[in-house]
Amino acid sequence: SAVISQKPSRDICQRGTSLTIQCQVDSQVTMMFWYRQQPGQSLTLIATANQGSEATYESGFVIDKFPISRPNLTFSTLTVSNMSPEDSSIYLCSVEEVPTSAYNEQFFGPGTRLTVL
């Protein structure tokens, strides 16, 4: 299993500023995923981050708002840009079990709780 850490664990930010969230995995993984979990709701996939290529964004999410970096196989960052109160959410990083497995279990980081004032 993979162990994932995220920084910061929580933050309170002002409208119009940006926050970069870091995700560190204890093993090399091909794909990393960024989710948003708004209060009382399920997870929504923001984008898939592959090392060495541009992130793939889901419908409703754009690179200008959520730029992602993936400099190596164990690390990724998600930036929430020009924040508004609607961006208040928990942001979760996850990785998939080794692609050769048939099970495709996901491992999640503890999340970053963001509050935008």
Residues forming the site for another protein (CB under 8 A) = 4, 33, 41-43, 45, 48, 56, 58, 92, 94, 96, 99, 102-111
In whole angstroms, the minimum distance from the beta carbon of 99 to another protein comes to 7
Nearer to another protein, 7 or 16 (CB): 7
Beta pairing class for 112-116 and 10-13: parallel
DSSP helix/strand/coil, 85: helix
CB neighbour list of residue 85: distance below 8 Å, 6 or more residues apart = 15, 116, 117
State which residue, 19 or 33, has the beta carbon closest to another protein. 33
- We find the least distance from the C-beta atom of residue 4 to another protein, in angstroms, to be 8
87/109 with CB nearer another protein: 109
Closer residue to another protein in complex, CB, 17/63: 63
Q: How far is the CB of 104 from another protein (least distance, A)?
A: 3
Rounded to the nearest 10°, the torsion over CA 4, 7, 12, 16 is -110
Q: Are 89 and 39 in contact (CB under 8 A)?
A: yes
Q: Which residues pair with 43 in a beta bridge?
A: 37
